[in-house]
Structure formats: C-alpha cells, structure tokens
Chain A
Amino acid sequence: MDNLTGLTGIQIAQNIKNSKLSEKDACSFFRERINNNTSLNAFVESYEVPIGADGDSSLKGVPIAIKDNICIKGKKITCASKILSSHTAVYDATVITKLKNAGLKIIGTTNMDEFAFGSSTESSCYGVTKNPWDMQRVPGGSSGGSAAAVAARLVPFALGSDTGGSIRQPASFCGIVGFKPSYGRVSRYGLIAFGSSLDQIGPLTTNFTDCAHLLNIICGFDEHDSTSAPIEKKDFSKSLIEDVTGLRVGMPRQYFAKGIDEEIKNAILGVSRLLKEKGAAIVDIDLPHTEYAVATYYIIGSSEASSNLQRFDGIKYGLRESASGLMDIYKNSRRAGFGDESKRRIFLGTYSLSSGYYDAYYVRALKVRTLIKKDFDDAFKKIDVILTPTSPTAAFKIGEKATDPLSMYLSDIYTISANLAGLPAVSLPCGFTKNNLPIGAQLIAKEFDEETLIRAGYSYQCATDYHKRMPELK
C-alpha cells in the first residue's frame, strides 16, 4: 500500500490485522509525511522508534500523536514552554498507558499554545503551527499541532486537551472531528494541568468511527484521578448508527446573535436542515447566561492555572536561571521561562484569588458557573443535543489577534460553556468558506451522554463528505 492518507485509523488497523500492511510500514509512512511537512510546525518531536507495547484493540498498530502536555515516560514534555524545555516525563499519563495497552504506536508530540493558553498556537515557544488549508493562517488552539497534523494526514489521529475549546476550535479551523468528553470521562492523571476543573483529554480524528474507537480506549475511571467518574464503561462504537429520527436538536438563540460570520451561520443552518431532513426535530432554545461564559471562564481557568503553575519555579525541573538567593531563582526562572500569555493568566488568576478580590471575582465566577450549568439542565429537559457553531469565524491570519488578547479570548465564546458545565461536546466539519477554509459545527449533549453526540455526528457524516476533503500538501 503506498498511500495511507485516504484511510481512516480503523481501516489502517484492519489492513494491519489482515497482514496487508505492517505496523512498521504504517509508522514509516506517517513518519515520512511528518518529515516532509516540517514547515507546518505541527510536531514538537517525532520518534525514530514509535512507542507502543504489544497490547491489542480495534486500533492496534495505528500511529497516534500526543499533545505536548500529556506525559509519556522517558520523553521530553514541555507544554511548549521554555520553562519546561529540558523536562523529561518520569511516568506515563493514564491515557498513555491505555494507548500502549491498546497497541497504538505513539509517533510523536504535537505543538500547542504554551500551557494550553491560547486559541492559535501562537504562544508556543516553538513558534506557530501553520494551518494546512492556508499556511498564512493559524490552525486554532491550543491543540493546534494535533489538529494540523491530523488534517494534513501526518498522523491518522491525535490526542489533545480541551479546557475552553482547545480540541474543538482547532478541529473546526482544520476541518476535522474534535471531541471533548464529559468532565470525568477520561483520566487527567499525567495531563499537565491548566484549569483542573475544566481540563479534559479527547481525540482529534478525521471521522466519527475513529473517534468512537479512540474514546473506547481512553475513557474510564482511574483511581489516580479523584475527579474521574466511577461509571460504567460504554462501547461507543455501538453508537455509530445512521439514524437521527426523533432526535431533538436545540439551537440556542444566544449563539447566533452577534459577532458571528454570515458564512459560518449559514453552514450551521445547513447542518440543522440536513438533520431535520433525516428526521430530527429542530427546536429554538435559550441559554440565557451565555454572555457571561467568557468572563467566568477566564476567572476560574486563570485562578486554577495561577496555582497549577506555581510548581514551575526553576528548582525541581525545567529551566533554572541563576541568582544569588532562592527568591531570585524563582523570579528569574519564571520571568525567563514563561511567555507573555502565561504571565497574563498568572497575573489574572493571582489577582482573582487575592484577599479582598476573591469574593468579587472567584466566588462570583463560581456562582455564575452554577447558573450556566442550570441553563443547560433546563435546556436538556426539552432536547437531546445542542447545535451551535464551534467558532464565530474560520481560521484567522497568523498575527491577526496576537496583540489583542480579548479578541483572541472571544474566539472560544461558543466552546467555553461546555467546559464550565462539564458537558461532552464535539466539533465536526460542516462546510467551507469561499476562501476554502473549513467550518466546524458544535454538538453538545448531556453529561456522560457521549453516545448521542456520536450518533448525531456519525449520521451527519454519512450524508456529507466534508470530512473526506484534504488540504493540498507536498
């Protein structure tokens, strides 16, 4: 087999199983693509000998890439930050153990915004990842390296992490499927924390079949993560059914109000039309506290991040700047090691948690978070799934928003609420702009109802071919 780019992960696994393809050749094929497309800057590191044990699963032998904030024992892990640039992981994240046990081949680590702070990968210490659909544009972020790598078929699929949209928004910018599971579905053990109450690891794939099979591998309760949910494991591949008859799809008015590109809006309306044709019921709904989501998210996420990043002090691992006293080692190392966006979040979080401001910011944000959750609870009494755009725009130009943090923050406006409420959500390819940039639609379901997302997404995918389109590359 000479070209594997048209194959899904599952198809590659089947070819390996039927001995039409060796694991080694599969890895070599993708490694070559990685090496031929370094101009994308999607990978931080790719491995000469991919890591993988002798485990088994429906995806055995298939290469996978990992966002550079998930620990792989013995491998460099940096969160795309200078402060960790010399750090090697001393243990495997739970998801890595699961991938190894499933026989997948870890082929490398992917670029990201520093510590996952961003929506464009521009804050990476390794420089921006390019969008394979337009090299002048960002791939989205923070899992931009994973999204670009999958879209460019440098790897069949990848893992990312999603704190406020970091899987879904880059998936939408790159025209692939990006799935954020319910909070607690996937163990966070070994994911370098950004916002502990928001973070969730999830797959970036070209299609829903691979997505369901990868979810089967990475989900499940983990005794090392107290916030992982002790609930029964499901076989998500059973939800790969082309049937949305009777599915109640809610479209929140607040998500189509202002700031949204007309092209994006029309594409999402196209999705709703298609689902309706296939038997779904489309319902207008209200999520009245939507407008507070961004502010709430930036207070809670930054507060948690400011504490999570305290451990990076130059003493135990990573960059250490010399100084005469302990305090100065801390100060110099952190000053030199953290990029601007990280510093901005640390300041923001430290301020929100400071005595005298705590009640007005952090505590108030927690209250609003509860209201946002309640909005969803109320909505899901009438509907099964929510349909929204993933991002108000398609991929923007490199540098376009880099100097305007607020406009950058607003590019997550549609994705943030699912993290605040702990809900599963997915971005799926649903069209292209006239500039040939991918557009993503977001589906959000009830807590732990990943099945509905897979069924709805798969049904849409069966009726469309956006997921099959590939960017032109060397």
Chain B
Amino acid sequence: MQEFDTVIGLEVHVQLNTNSKIFCSCSTKFENPANSNICPVCCGYPGVLPVFNKQALLLAIRVALALNCKINKKIYFERKNYFYPDLPKNYQISQYKMPLGEGGALSLPTEKTIGITRVHLEEDAGKLIHKENYSLVDLNRTGTPLLEIVSNPDITSPQDAFDYLSSLKLILQYIGASECNMEKGSLRCDANISLKNKGASTLGVKVELKNMNTFKGVRDALEYEVTRQSKTLDEGGKIFQETRLWDADRQKTEVMRSKEEAHDYRYFPEPDLLDFFVEEEFIENEKQFVKELPQDRHKRFLSQYKLQALDVDVLISEKFLADYFEEAVKEFNEPKKICNFIIGPFLEQVNAFPDRFQSVKLSAKNFSKIVKYFSNGLLNNLTAKKVLVLCISNNSDIDEIIKNEGLSQVSGEAELSGLVLEAIKESPKAVKEYTEGKSQAIMFLVGAVMKKTKGKANPKVVKELLEKTLKR
C-alpha cells in the first residue's frame, strides 16, 4: 500500500448581497416567478449595454480585504465568450487577466492557513430546467453579481476543505457580503483534487468535482475521491484528467466529461464598460467593515464577557446571534445570563422556524428585558419562555404581554400561603414522606402549588413557604 499526499483546491462562487443585478437595475430576489426579474439588459436583447453596480464592487472589495488579498486598483472587465443557453448574450462579463483581489489567505480554526489565489467579479447565469424533450430557461438569476474565490492547492484533506468552506462562509456572512446558502445556490463549490506520492514535488493528475450541494457533500465527495484514486494508483491504474459529478444519493462520483473538450473562451476587455481605478482612500475606508472577523470576535468575547469557549463558539457561529447578544448586553449587562438564554430558549425557538433568523422580529432590546425579568424573579423559567414564544416573531411589548396574559410571577406570601395549605391538605402521602425525612418529596408539593397558579408562582418562595409550614 503506497502512501499519498492529497492536494485539494476549491473554487467557490458566491452571490453578493446586492439589491439589484450587477449590470442592470433588476431585483436579485429569488422567490419571484420565473422570468419576472428581467429586462432587456439581462436578457441580452440586441442593442443593450451593461452599467456596473457599484454596490457589488463595495462588497467584493470587502471580501477581498477580509481574505487578506492585494487589491488591484485598476478595475476592468473582460468578456468570456461561449455559447450557452442560460447566458443570453453568449458571453459572460467576468474578470480574467486582472482579478479584483490576489494573493490572499484564510486561517482555519485548526490554525492552518490556506492561500487564496484570486477573487474576481462576474455575472451569474440563468437556470435551465430540462424536461423530457425540451428545456426551459429562467433568467431571473442571470446577472446576479457573483464573486469567484479560488484557493491555492493548499488544502490537504477533505476535512480541511470542510473547515475552509465553513470559515469562508462565516467571514462572508460576517461582512454581509453573501448569504452563503449552498442549498439555495448562493454559494457553490467545485473542487480539484489530485494525489501524489508522499513527499513528492510533482503533482498528480487533477480531477474536478462538481454537483456538491452541502459542505458535507464536498467532504464526502473528496473522501470518496481520495479512496478511489489511491485504490486506482495502488493497483497500478491511471487517473484521468476529467470532470466528475458527485451523486449524493449513491455517495459516489461519476465521469461527466473528459478535459479534451477544452474551450477557447476568447477573453478580451469588455468594450462596453470603461476601466476605472479605485482610490486608496476608498479601500482604506472599506477596511472598517472588515475590522473584526469571526476569529477576532471569538477572542474578544472570551476576554470581554468572560464566557465559556463552547458558548462563544455557538454565538460566533452565526453573525446574527453574536450581534444580537452584544446588543442585548448593552441593555442588560449580564453577559452570562443573556448568553444562556440565547443558547437555550431563544435558539430552540429559532430552530423551529423554517427560515430561522429571518422570522425573528423581537428586538435585542426587548429580548434583554425578558432576561432581566427572569433574573429579577418577575418571570420564572416557564413564564419567561412563554413570553418569548409570544413575542419572538412580532416584537410586541413585553410588559403588555405579561400583564395581558397574567404571567407575572406570584411571590407574595399572602397570595401563596392559602394555596400551600391546600396542597398540604390534598397530598397527605407526600407530606408523610417529607416528614419522615425524604426531603425530595417536597418537590411534589411545589409542583402542586405551581399547577394551582398555572405556573406563575415563584418556585423558590413556594418551597420556602412549604418548608416553613411543615416544620411547625
């Protein structure tokens, strides 16, 4: 059995979070019916001209900065010519000779660093829907700004590829550049993989993998290929330069096309758009938006809020959570309590929504109020959760909900002592057990009182009252 080094490079395409397309003013929303977000420009009608959306440039520059790239200040586009029905001009406006960013790097949580070869802007193509004997084309996606991010072949294992994608996604989400939703297609990933003899300097034959729809799919496909290629090489076989498709159902890759049909894209500078230069000050100004990337924020959360590393992992994993946390702490300076409530009941609710954070309407300020009431005893575990459920998707007034639903915790001895006596009377068995020394039995009585108050009683007060009464 020979030993091999795995060499992986990833090519990621992300859709940038702009309101309108890269070369026309059509919306980039996806829910809309097929071919409704289109105009003569993105349909490539004769005579139309592209106009560059500067918002796309802004986001692209932020990504390039966040990935530590050198920014090429001269910006120009090129045409990539090919006949394909989802790109109606039959050329794609892209960047070739001089990408927006070059020579960057991305650190993985394992402290490994992966080089970024290039980051460039281009327009997305439409979607083809193939039917039995005809095909349909939806041009809504045509012209969505796309950023291509190409890694160096520095990735040495499928798990590193997975970590690279996770880190990249987190950064892009953090700086608001892209949603990075692989299922929805706002992030797409192709992988190149080759094996070489351990320690050898010459690279093996490269295979391109496509059609992975999740990060896990990327890892699985790469793992499959490592196994397939090393087995083939072990048996004296040959690896062919080809493109293979990942079949997630069957968990295997299959040949799509061999590299012989290489295209000549006849790149040349797009004459419909003028070259322009981005000023140094402009780039400097954009740096403020990529100041604190996820790893930096993780460090800060640990030191500033004195939280557990595992909890911080959860908060940082979604920019929304980390932002929400910080905003809530600003209102109620109890980081630990806010954190617990976010990771507990809040996330439980969020995960129940199909589109997760998009359904959350409750402001962090109002959220902090719930945590505050919980910690000062106005709400208990149950009622706090109930308030959260009632307002998470509508941001109604917390005090009003508590009032209207009668959820404020009952802590007064006067209101509770009658109910305590009732409970004692109704549960002689528990009382007997308690007085015989089985101290746990008191919880049954606490539960009984809670039931009578519909969960509103302060369980701590109830327990104290019971103990006091039964001692007499």
Contacts and interface: CB of A to CB of B under 8 A. Distances in A.
Asked if A and B are interacting partners, one says: yes
Interface of A: 69-71, 77, 79, 84, 87, 89-91, 93, 188-193, 195-197, 223-227, 303-304, 306-307, 310-313, 315-317, 326-327, 330, 350, 353-355, 358, 362
A62 B49 CA distance: 29
B90 A310 contact: yes
Given A226-B52, A310-B89, A87 B46 contact: yes
A69 B85 CA distance: 24
A91 B89 contact: no
Contact of B266 (A69, A71, A315, A354): A354
B91 A226 contact: no
Contacts of A303: 268
Contacts of B50: 226
Contacts of B267: 353
Contact of A355 (B40, B79, B264): B264
Given A196-B272, A310-B90, A311-B88, A188 B49 contact: yes
Contact of B268 (A91, A327, A330, A362): A362
Nearest to A331: B83
Nearest to A193: B47
B271 interface: yes
A71 B89 contact: no
Contacts of A191: 47
Nearest to A355: B264
Contacts of A307: 79, 81, 91, 266, 268
Contacts of B44: 311, 316
A350 B266 contact: yes
Contacts of B470: none
Contact of A226 (B43, B45, B49, B83): B49
B268 A358 contact: yes
Contact of A311 (B51, B89, B268): B89
B274 interface: yes
25 contacts: A71-B47, A84-B46, A90-B45, A189-B48, A189-B49, A190-B47, A192-B46, A193-B47, A193-B272, A197-B271, A224-B49, A226-B52, A227-B273, A227-B274, A303-B268, A306-B81, A306-B266, A307-B79, A310-B91, A312-B46, A313-B83, A316-B88, A317-B46, A350-B266, A358-B268
Interface string B48-90: 1111100000000000000000000000000101010100111
How extensive is the interface on chain B, given as a class?
Answer: 20 to 34
Task: In the A-B complex, list the 10 residue pairs whose CB atoms are closest, starting with the nearest.
Answer: A310-B90, A196-B271, A353-B266, A197-B271, A192-B46, A190-B47, A192-B47, A71-B47, A311-B89, A91-B40
A43 B57 CA distance: 45
B83 A330 contact: yes
A197 to B, nearest CB: 4
A187 to B, nearest CB: 8
B431 to A, nearest CB: 84
A93 B52 contact: no
**Of residues B46, B83, B91, which shows the largest number of chain A Cβ atoms within 10 Å of its Cβ?**
B46
Given A196-B272, A226-B273, A226-B274, A326 B85 contact: yes
Nearest to B265: A355
A299 B274 CA distance: 20
A316 B266 CA distance: 23
A71 to B, nearest CB: 5
Given A226-B52, A355-B264, A93 B85 contact: no
A224 B51 contact: yes
A376 B170 CA distance: 54
Interface in B262-308: 264, 266-268, 271-274
Contacts of B271: 195-197, 227, 304
Nearest to A363: B268
A355 B268 CA distance: 11
A311 B91 CA distance: 8
A69 B52 CA distance: 24
A358 B40 CA distance: 31
B51 A223 contact: yes
Contacts of A317: 45-46
Interface string B194-229: 000000000000000000000000000000000000
A317 B44 CA distance: 10
Nearest to B43: A316
Nearest to A318: B46
Nearest to A197: B271
Nearest to A350: B266
Contacts of A304: 268, 271
